[in-house]
């Protein structure tokens, strides 16, 4: 198996605060890695570094055998690195299906020229059908025509994951995709993720360990910007270092 992502000594300082402190991580193809850790431990910042929203203070990021440490976010997306956001991020001012227009046109040969991109109707050709096709995958097809702002939080999450999947990711980074959802919605999203797990490499951040413990192949525990433990999920949870930093602060409510 080949490595999709390799991180070496990744560090990010915000003034005096070291949010991410010398993190090393290797992710193999088709692997699902979970990252857990208390609030403020640097999980989201780590994603922001991997995906290029922030430049690291030190360290190196290699994606698909290419050093992308200084690549722009859109270049990383073009290479197949796709993410979702902790606060659900969809386009509220667009209709639901329009959220996918920019994704499907990226892979549509008919829109490869800027002229076509700027003058052919978004409702015409295969674009709209392709968008509806993606929505069908996540079960949002019957809401395709509504305004995105009118969707429930759970549906917005589904839409956001649909957007991510339509970008044909090789590596999918999910930042707390289950937070703020009802139990039913959590099941929906986990079912969806289980379906794609075999085809995509996934890194998932989650606050509630119990939700993802049977879903991930490997679990990393982050605390104060470092990985304090890493390995097979059930073993990691038994690690005394983890119990100290994680449950010590959080109590056992989360699991």
Partner 1 sequence: MKPENRDIYELLIIAGSFLLLVPFLHTHRITDFMIFCIFVLSFDLLYGYMGRLSFGHLLYLGAGAYGAGLSLRHLTANPLLAILLGIAAACLLAMLAGLIVVRATGACFALINLAFNQTGWFLVMSPLRGITNGQDGFGIGAMRLGFFNFGSATFRFWFVLITLLLVFFLLKRVTSSPYGVLVRSIKEDETRVRFLGYNTYLYKWLTFVFSASVAGLSGALTALNYAYVNPNTMDVHKNVGAVFACLIGGAGRLYGALIGGVVYMLISNFLPLYVLRWEMFLGLALLIIVFRFRRGIWGSFEVWLSRAAASARLRAQSGKGAPVK
Ligand X SMILES: Nc1ncnc2c1ncn2[C@@H]1O[C@H](COP(=O)(O)OP(=O)(O)O)[C@@H](O)[C@H]1O
Residues near partner 1 (CB under 8 A) are 51, 53, 72-74, 77-78, 82-83, 85, 89, 91-94, 98, 101-103, 105-106, 111, 117-123, 127, 163, 167
Other CB atoms within 10 Å distance of the CB of residue 130: 19
Q: Write down the least CB distance from residue 112 to partner 1, Å.
A: 12
- Residues 172 and 202: their CA atoms lie apart, in Å, by 5
Other CB atoms within 10 Å distance of the CB of residue 231: 12
- Residues 82 and 234: their CA atoms lie apart, in Å, by 28
Q: Write down the least CB distance from residue 185 to ligand X, Å.
A: 21
Residues 193, 215: contact at Cβ < 8 Å?
yes
Residue 168 or 244 with smaller CB distance to ligand X: 244
Query: 39 contacts which partner out of partner 1, ligand X, Mg ion, none, CB within 5 to 8 A by kind?
Result: ligand X
Size of the site for ligand X (CB under 6 A): 11
Q: Which CA distances in Å does 37 have to 23, 104, 121, 178?
A: 14, 35, 46, 15
Q: Write down the least CB distance from residue 236 to partner 1, Å.
A: 30
Going by the DSSP 8-state scheme, the letter that residue 147 receives in this structure is: B
Q: Write down the least CB distance from residue 33 to ligand X, Å.
A: 15
Closest CA to 22 of 3, 2, 51, 49: 49
Question: Among 21, 32, 44, 99, which residue sits at the site for ligand X (rule: CB under 6 A)?
Answer: 44
Query: Residue 59 is encoded by which pair of tokens?
Result: 């360290």
Residue of closest CB approach to Mg ion: 44
Read off φ and ψ for residue 14, nearest 5 degrees.
Answer: -115, 100
Question: Applying CB under 5 A, which part among 38-46, 179-187, 196-204, 235-243 lies near Mg ion?
Answer: 38-46
Per CB under 6 A, 43 contacts ligand X: yes
Binding footprint of ligand X on the chain (CB under 6 A): 14, 17, 19, 37, 39-45
């Amino acid at each position: 198996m080949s490595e999709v992502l390799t991180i070496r000594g990744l560090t990010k300082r915000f003034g005096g605060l070291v949010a991410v402190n010398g993190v090393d991580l290797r992710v193999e193809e088709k692997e699902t890695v979970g990252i857990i850790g208390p609030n403020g431990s640097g999980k989201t910042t780590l994603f922001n570094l991997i995906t290029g929203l922030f430049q690291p203070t030190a360290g190196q990021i290699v994606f698909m055998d290419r050093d992308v440490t200084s690549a722009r976010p859109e270049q990383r997306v073009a290479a197949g690195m796709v993410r979702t956001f902790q606060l659900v991020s969809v386009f509220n001012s667009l209709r639901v299906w329009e959220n996918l227009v920019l994704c499907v046109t990226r892979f549509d040969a008919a829109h490869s020229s800027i002229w076509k991109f700027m003058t052919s109707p978004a409702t015409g050709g295969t674009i709209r059908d392709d968008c509806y096709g993606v929505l069908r995958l996540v079960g949002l097809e019957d809401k395709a025509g509504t305004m995105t702002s009118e969707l429930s939080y759970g549906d917005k999450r589904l839409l956001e994951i649909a957007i991510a999947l339509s970008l044909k990711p090789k590596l999918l980074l999910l930042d707390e995709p289950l937070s703020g959802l009802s139990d039913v919605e959590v099941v929906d999203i986990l079912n969806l993720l289980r379906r794609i797990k075999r085809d995509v490499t996934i890194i998932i951040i989650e606050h509630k360990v119990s939700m993802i413990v049977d879903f991930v192949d490997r679990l990393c525990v982050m605390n104060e910007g470092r990985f304090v433990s890493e390995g097979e999920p059930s073993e990691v949870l038994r690690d005394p270092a983890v119990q100290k930093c994680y449950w010590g602060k959080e109590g056992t409510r989360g699991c």
